[in-house]
């Protein structure tokens, strides 16, 4: 991500140069600097949570009905999978059949 030196707005790449969408200021691209930038593609790799042997890993459990086997207990963990201004998603792992599902916002 690059910001405009003139007005501070976020810039985008147009015709091989950084261009400000607000004031039109342009600046040459710096491939060494861009290599260290975090891209949206780089953010897609989220942390993988190992839920095998959930009880031994200290995951809390709660009373909730498993959609697979109708058991009434599951381990759960919270993970931020959307933008920071949205709530975390709660994931469940059935204590009996180890079926995994998530709680959707309604």
- Residue carrying the six token digits 């792992």: 93
Burial class (CB in 10 A: 0-12, 13-18, 19+), 18: buried
Q: Is 47 left (phi over 0), alpha (psi -120 to 50) or beta?
A: beta
Give me the sign of the Cα torsion angle 20, 26, 31, 32.
Answer: negative
| Annotated binding-site positions for Zn(2+) | 4, 7, 20, 23, 66, 69, 94, 97
| Annotated binding-site positions | 4, 7, 20, 23, 66, 69, 94, 97
């Amino acid at each position: 991500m690059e910001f405009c030196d003139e007005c501070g707005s976020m810039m985008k790449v147009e015709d091989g140069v950084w261009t400000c969408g607000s004031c039109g200021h342009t600046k040459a691209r710096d491939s060494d600097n861009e290599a260290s930038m975090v891209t949206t593609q780089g953010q897609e790799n989220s942390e993988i949570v190992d839920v095998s042997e959930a009880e031994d890993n200290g995951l809390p459990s709660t009373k909730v009905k498993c959609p697979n086997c109708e058991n009434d207990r599951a381990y759960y963990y919270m993970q931020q999978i959307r933008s920071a201004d949205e709530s975390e998603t709660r994931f469940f792992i059935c204590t009996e059949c180890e079926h995994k599902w998530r709680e959707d916002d309604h």
